[in-house]
Amino acid sequence: MISVIVVFPKLDDAKKIRNLLVRNGIDVTAVCSSGAQVLQYVDSIEDGIVVTGYKLADMHCSELRANLPPDFHVLIMASKGHMQEFVGDDVVCLPMPVKAYDLVNVIQDMYMVVSRARKKRKEKPKQRSEEEKAVIANAKSKLMREKNYTEEEAHRYLQKMSMDSGRSLVETCQMYIAML
């Protein structure tokens, strides 16, 4: 689930926006009144959308954006005069006063963007560290010496052991090395 955090200096305003979003089928994870609360909250989640006003109690919205992890998208609701500051930034702006329909549509569009980015991140193969590569190579070489396997056969054997045991390939290789 993608996290949506609503942050406005007046908690009542944030709650009204949360209620509007919830009525339209968008789950809101948190409602905050300061940038510090948002930054503390985002430490525990991997990505999401932050809906904010132009100025918060403790920081400017551009400061908040600069301190958020890169997988968070920001929707700034501000007057047209303030929106000029964000041209070219990696944020989405909505002019105030905002219509409920526009807000919901923009959040849904941002949901799609975050979902695609999350899917791309998960599709990337994990890169093994040099240490992990060394463990796998060590286990393969032991198999090749002891059972007269080719490197490909040793790798397949370790993969099969890994799948059968439900452990990662690196864990399986470490266990194999420890057994000998």
**Mean pLDDT computed over every residue of the chain:** 88
- The fraction of the chain above a pLDDT of 90, given in percent, is 48
Are both 84 and 156 inside the same structural domain? no
pLDDT band at residue 57, thresholds of 50, 70 and 90? confident
Whether residue 90 is predicted with pLDDT greater than 80 in this model: the reply is no
- Distance of alpha carbon 15 from alpha carbon 20, whole angstroms: 9
Q: Give pLDDT tens digits for 9-27.
A: 999 999 999 999 999 999 9
pLDDT of residue 43: 86
Domain of 10, in residue numbers: 3-123
The more confident residue out of 75 and 124 is 75
Number of domains in the chain: 2
- In tens, the pLDDT along 147-158 reads 999 999 999 999
Tell me the pLDDT band of 179, cut-offs 50, 70 and 90: confident
Residue 8 phi, psi dihedral angles, 5° rounding: -140, 150
86 pLDDT higher than 80: no
* 52-69 mean pLDDT: 88
Using the 3D structure, point to which of 105, 123, 141 is the last residue of a domain.
123
117 and 134 co-located in one domain: no
Q: Is the pLDDT of residue 83 over 80?
A: no
List the CATH number of the domain containing 22. Answer: 3.40.50.2300
Instruction: Categorize the per-residue pLDDT at 171 as very low, low, confident or very high, splitting at 50, 70 and 90.
Output: very high
Distance of alpha carbon 68 from alpha carbon 60, whole angstroms: 13
d(CA 87, CA 7): 21
**Domain boundary residue, one of 84, 103, 123:** 123
